[in-house]
Amino acid sequence: IWDVQNPNQPDAKIVPPSPLCCLVYNPRSPDHLVGGCYNGLVGFWDLRKGGNPVEMSVLEKSHHDPVYDVFWVQSRTGNECCSVSTDGQLLWWDIRKLKGGPTDGMTLQGDQEILFGGTAMEYKSDAGATRYLVGTEQGVTLLCDRKAKKDADSQKSIKATFGMNNGGHHGPIYSI
């Protein structure tokens, strides 16, 4: 991890178990990072504790394709994040319990039974704390909604599909 003010020496070095596809700082705690690996794992690093991951998901309970984007999600504790992968899953995690698997998940499947592979994601709490934009490898953008519930399963749905019938991209969406 480099500081542009001091380009001669890295500020920190992190050691993932697999190459990283994405890495994001926690907006509430600048020492906390969450990253998605090429082998489908999600990892959590605390820079105060060195370069090795504090917590990693396990292969059996992770994505089955590379994790192309992760985001910290607005929560009371500041310990929740979500990840998207080309395996067609949007997963929510508690970074304190990554080994236990995701806390929630959603299959990115449209009306016509098409499974969309996620390549990019955007989450902004001021746009709606339950709304996620997901770019796919099929060139379609999905507006996903998740209403979390305390004891029951949360309600998850694809509210809109952009670019399916007209105006879609001719290749994967890598950034939103």
Q: Is the dihedral of CA 176, 127, 46, 83 positive or negative?
A: negative
> Tokens 């500081």 map to which residue?
3
User: How high is the pLDDT of residue 23?
Assistant: 96
Take residue 67 and report the two structure tokens written for it: 């994790």
Contact 98, 55 (CB under 8 A): yes
In order along its 176 residues, the chain shows pLDDT tens digits of 998 998 899 988 999 999 999 999 999 998 999 999 999 999 999 999 999 999 999 999 999 999 999 999 988 888 999 999 999 999 999 999 999 999 999 999 877 788 999 999 998 777 767 888 999 999 999 888 887 665 446 677 777 777 777 767 888 999 98
Instruction: Quote the CA–CA distance of 117 and 30 in Å, as a whole number.
Output: 30
